[in-house]
Structure 1
Amino acid sequence: MVKITVTRKSQSFVVPASEPAPPSAETTTLELSAIDRVPGLRHTVRSLHVFHNKKQSSTTGCGDDDDDAARPGEVIRAALSRALVDYRPFAGRFVGSVAAGEACVECTDDGAWFVEAVADCSLEDVNGLDYPLMVSEEELLPAPEEGVDPTSIPVMMQVTEFACGGFVVGLVAVHTLADGLGAAQFINAISEFARGMEKPTVAPIWARALIPNPPKLLPGAPPSFHSFGFQHFTMDVTSDLIANVKTQYHQATGQYCSTFDVAIAKVWQARTKALRYNLESQVHVCFFANTRHLLTQVLPKNGGFYVWIHTS
């Protein structure tokens, strides 16, 4: 097995570039929606983005040795700084009590945590970082300074350059600030600045107020929980089972269901049976889903909405 070493060369906060502040800069404290203030949703989402060197030799696996060319870390660092001008919340900090549902974002311009690193191998040596990974995720993802809570920094980024000239961007973002589409929009803005564009194609919009607050629940007695002695169980939801359930459902209702519908229904049925609920009890399942398509009359028509998550 190849011995691989990743060395972190530098790490610091990247602040918004010294450019004219956008109109949103007049407001330094931004409120979060009721969904974003749910304590259980304050967590980080980690991802790795692999970029191969298009100029690399097909025989040596190494790129052109151009000492005058800017390193990927330098270019992305500068692009991140420019992107943070429009995406100021990513350079801010969370304030207020999460437990009390009073958290908000203070646009302090403290910056995003940025790490530059190098690996002593080519991307080819590690199979392009396809699974199973030959390099630990922890070596390619940024980590804050010791004693710092990762969820207190909205976004952290590490650029690891490989010997072939390719590089990997490790991103750690707090889900409170952006859903998957919003995070992709932020990454696209960084890439556009890195390619020399003067402004991102899609202008970001902070519009939490568009999401209505749910009605407050009346106080009541806390729920009671029973203690069970659970055992581990592996459930094999085969393709034949899925096909049969789809057929039965269509014959009974005249409607169609997806593979996801069948899989989650079967797992949920098994779970509720194990819990021995009363046969008349209604038990609800909750899962993450994209509901932007349901809010076309609410969200900005020109796009740019990047800070919202929702559960269904």
Structure 2
Amino acid sequence: MASLPSLVFSVRRQQPQLVGPAKPTPQGFKHLSDIDDQQGFRFHIPVIQFYHNNPLMVGKDPVRVIKAALAEALVFYYPFAGRLREGPARKLMVDCTGEGVLFIEADADVRLDQFGDSIQPPCPCFEELLYDVPGSGGVLDSPLLLIQVTRLMCGGFILALRLNHTISDGPGLVQFMNAVAEISRGAQTPSVLPVWQREILNARVPPRVSCVHHEYGEEDDTPVRADDMTQGSFFFGPKELSAIRKLLPPHLHNSSTFEVLTAFLWRCRTIALQPDPNEEVRVLCIFNARAKNPLLPLPAGYYGNAFAFPAAFATAGKLCKNPLGYALDLVRKTKASMTGEYIRSVADLMVMKGRPVFKLVGTYIVSDVTRAGFREIDFGWGRAVYGGPAAASPEMISFFIPFKNSKGEDGIVAPVCLPRQAMERFRVEQERMIGEPMDMEGSITKKSPSIISSL
């Protein structure tokens, strides 16, 4: 995506509209779970999907098809058409008003091939592809979804959206988008029916914090942001991952790709940022709780937030001076701690401590979306060319995204956001460890960092 920073095009947008359910839906209030409504989820997450033209869909308008299917899907997922309210003790609930989600129809004077032969984040044109409707970005009393579908000159299109994170996580969003996609292709009902049941992830009565939670703090410690932040994406294919594994002792060779890559990036990033050697640094590993677990029986179709962030931590000095295996051991132990009991303990902590905030200073967050299914969402035009997060946002998050590079190699791309000089040190450290130049593309300057202070 190296050509993207110089790509210039114009977008003609229609007036934003509210799309509500196609049929009357239940009214009333639905409480979010104690996992959903924690302080750290009170922000919006951006996603973008790129689609080729499909000759079999000649005469079909993706805007009209998706808009109509969205209205039908909201009959099943009607809480998305409501608005968040805050009750006693800042408890969040959905007021199922049926007001609808924001939808924007747009046209761009650009072809899909002009985005390059390996589309990946960061997307410097994202502001054009998802217009920030004034007043739409609040957590309370605002639309829970903002969607823009942009037709391209070649017949392809781009779907970009922004989701209020408290209502759903990545797998829940994919479930909803697949429902829209299935209806776009002619289905009458989604193949997976939505399940609310947020009470499953409420605190126990009485609550009891049974695990240690290094990811949360007592007060906001938002770090000072540099004014020269840059974003870049780094590709890890079989060759790069093999080179990293060669740095590990034999007893760690059976580690998963997620564990290895998380440890590698955490260590390289810490070296690049050059913190005080005595400062505690941590990596928060996002683990999905949907896997079958007798302690946490989540039903199929559950689309609320169902994950936790157990933290691996060390002093910066120990992390940087020790070999990669040291960081990997910490990550593996952290992953092993993620059980049904752990996420129940998080819910109890939210109630007992008044929804404590995440520790931010010295924190790096990693989320694996390689199996989330964004690329498989098919509105009738086929799989997405690229589907998933639009960037490393907020700035301390990296997503692991499935990717095929310009050489046709399958692998993982990881967007990273750092101050400019730290980004160069980050690249150099990776190349030193791997032993060859890294494939870094799409670097852009962020003049006004937009970190969400609550995460």
- Kept after mapping to 1: 8 A contact 2:151/2:157: yes
- 1:94-152 residue CA offsets vs partner (Å, 9 max, x unmatched): 10159x441111111111000000011221233368247786111111422x2343433
Does 1:187 find its partner at 2:152? no
> TM-score, length-normalised on structure 2?
0.52
Select which of 12, 28, 43 maps to 1:7.
12
1:92 counterpart residue number = 82
- Which residue identity is paired with 1:200? P
Match of 1:55 in 2: 55
Unaligned residue ranges in structure 1 (runs of 5+): 57-62, 229-237
- Structure 2 equivalent of residue 259 of structure 1: 260
CA deviations 1:220-268 (Å, max 9, x no partner) are xx68x9x99xxxxxxxxx97994366316549xxx75631453367469
Mapping of 1:1-312 within 5 angstroms?
Answer: 3-18=8-23, 21=25, 25=26, 28-55=28-55, 69-96=59-86, 100-127=89-116, 130-131=119-120, 136-144=125-133, 146-151=134-139, 152-213=142-203, 215=207, 242-243=244-245, 246-247=248-249, 249-250=251-252, 256=255, 258-260=259-261, 262-263=263-264, 266=267, 274=276, 276=278, 285-293=283-291, 295=293, 298-301=296-299, 303-312=300-309
Change in Cα spacing, 1:205 to 1:124, as seen in structure 2 (3 Å) is: same
Residues 107 and 152 of structure 2 are in contact (CA less than 8 Å); yes or no, is this contact kept in structure 1? yes
Secondary structure of 2:160 counterpart? strand
Q: Deviations over 1:153-189 (max 9, x none)?
A: 2111000001121111111111111111111111111
Q: How far apart, in 2, do the equivalents of 1:239 and 1:190 lie?
A: 36
State how far apart, in whole Å, the 2-side matches of 1:263 and 1:4 are: 37
Identify, as 1 or 2, the structure richer in strand. Answer: 2
CA–CA distance in structure 2, aligned partners of residues 94 and 149 of structure 1: 12
Q: Equivalents in 2 of 1:149, 1:273: separation in Å?
A: 33
Q: Which amino acid in 2 is paired with 1:299?
A: P
Q: Give yes or no for contact 1:156–1:173 (8 Å, CA) kept in 2.
A: yes
**d(CA) in 2 for partners of 1:119 and 1:128?**
19
Amino acid at match of 1:276: N
What is the RMSD of the two structures over their aligned residues, measured on CA atoms?
3.9
Q: Which amino acid aligns with 1:311?
A: A
Contact persistence 1:246–1:262 (CA under 8 A) = no
Q: Distance in 2 between matches of 1:247 and 1:54?
A: 49
- 1:93 shift after superposition: 0.7
Percent of residue pairs identical: 29
2:21 aligned partner, one-letter code: P
Unaligned runs of 5+ in 2: 1-5, 210-217, 225-239, 310-455
Distance in 1, Cα, partners of 2:265 & 2:117 = 33
The 8 Å contact of residues 85 and 92 in structure 2, kept in 1 or not, is answered as yes
- Which is worse superposed, 240-249 or 3-12? 240-249
Q: CA deviation at 1:89?
A: 1.2
Q: Give the superposition deviation at 1:2.
A: 5.9
Quick check: which has more Rg, 1 or 2? Answer: 1
Distance (whole Å) between structure 1 residues aligned to residue 18 and residue 111 of structure 2 = 28
Q: Is the 8 A contact 1:42 1:174 kept in 2?
A: yes
Distance 1:30 1:54 in 2: 40
Shift of the alpha carbon at 1:285? 4.8
**Is contact 1:43-1:175 (8 Å) kept?**
yes
CA distance in 2, matches of 1:31, 1:178: 13
